[in-house]
Amino acid sequence: MYGMINEAMRRLVTETSGEQVWSRIAARADTTEHFAMLHYYDDAITYDLVAAASIELEIPADDLLRGFGHYWSMRVGPENYRDILGATGTDVISVLTNLDEMHARIQDLYPDLRPPSFEVHAVDGSGIEVHYRSVREGLAPFVVGLLEGLGDLYGTPAVVTQVSQKTAAQPYDVFHVGLGT
């Protein structure tokens, strides 16, 4: 994935646990400590960093991914990509509805991008159903955190439940997102 993803992880860990902890995580993952935002790194580096952080911080990898998703929506998106996010939408549903278009638009800047794909299905008054497609495995907890973070960002706390996991017959994960006010 692009270095901006690993850099955002570095920022989260250094903010919450300090630079020394990040140094240990990078050493354990056998990577550099810093990443060039516009350089494409092998996905294995990102997964190795999560696995190393899980050991160093003694937190399950899925919990870390969920926390990282929340941090991305609440901090990285609004602070580093304010204009892009603002042009995508102004609430959870509009952002998710326009997200594929947004990831496609940034492909000019990130030509090797392999973005995810999101579909929003209106369910009923209790919330929406979100279909998430990716060429990658194991990122569902990251998506849960991203969705929860968007809920908090827009003042409509989201209760996110994974309804089903992708299979050969259904090539996407399904999440129910209950949106409060």
Residues forming the site for ligand HEM (CB under 6 A): 1-2, 4-5, 73, 77, 81, 84-85, 95, 99, 103, 106, 110, 113-116, 134-136, 139, 142-143, 146-147, 150
Torsion angle of alpha carbons 151, 156, 162, 165, nearest 10°? Answer: -50
Q: How far is the CB of 12 from ligand HEM (least distance, A)?
A: 15
Q: How far is the CB of 18 from ligand HEM (least distance, A)?
A: 26
CB closer to ligand HEM out of 22 and 154? 154
Q: How far is the CB of 105 from ligand HEM (least distance, A)?
A: 9
Q: How far apart are CA 151 and CA 58, in angstroms?
A: 27
